[in-house]
Amino acid sequence: MNEHQPHEELIRGISEQMKLILESSEQGVYIYLDDTHKVCNKKLASLLGYRSPDEWARVEGSFPEVLVDERSRETLVTAYRKAMEKMVASTIELTWKKRSGGTVDTTVVLAPIAYSGHLIALHFVS
């Protein structure tokens, strides 16, 4: 068993549990465990210029550095820390980097959720 297998199983399990929301939400949605283990819906992938949720999920590197505009990184990291450390949800303004190189301004609702004894961040993007 490789070191990522438990995380792969967690993200697969939470994705299956949240399938209805991922497939039906009118907003972009993503679930973030760590930089490697994340999943999004078609709406978010499309908004950011990716062909599919799988292509978006395969993006490697630091999530904030690769996907979030420099001006918004601290906002996202701070909201994420509050969610994970204090179990606090928040609404933040966030500018994303598009795959094509442009940017897109959004409002993100970030909330902590628990799944199988692990804290995971659930995000709704509009």
pTM flag (> 0.85) = yes
* Average pLDDT estimate for 13-36: 97
Count of domains forming the chain: 1
Bigger pLDDT: 7 vs 114? 114
pLDDT tens-digit series, residues 74-95: 999 999 999 999 999 999 999 9
Domain extent, residue 108, equals: 5-125
Look at residue 5 and tell me whether its pLDDT is greater than 70. no
What is the phi-psi region of residue 13: left when phi exceeds 0, alpha when psi lies from -120 to 50, beta otherwise?
alpha
The alpha carbon of 48 is separated from its chain's Cα centroid by a whole number of angstroms, namely 12
Q: What mean pLDDT do residues 46-56 have?
A: 97
- 3-state per-residue secondary structure call for the chain: CCCCHHHHHHHHHHHHHCHHHHHHCCCEEEEECCCCCEEECHHHHHHCCCCCHHHHHCCCCCHHHHHECHHHHHHHHHHHHHHHHHCCCEEEEEEEECCCCCEEEEEEEEEEEEECCEEEEEEEEC
In the chain, the amino acid numbered 97 is K
What CATH number has the domain bearing residue 107? 3.30.450.20
Percent of the chain with pLDDT over 70: 96
Residue 12 near residue 30, CB atoms below 8 Å: no
Res 6: pLDDT = 87
Residue type for 32, please? Y
pLDDT of residue 4: 54
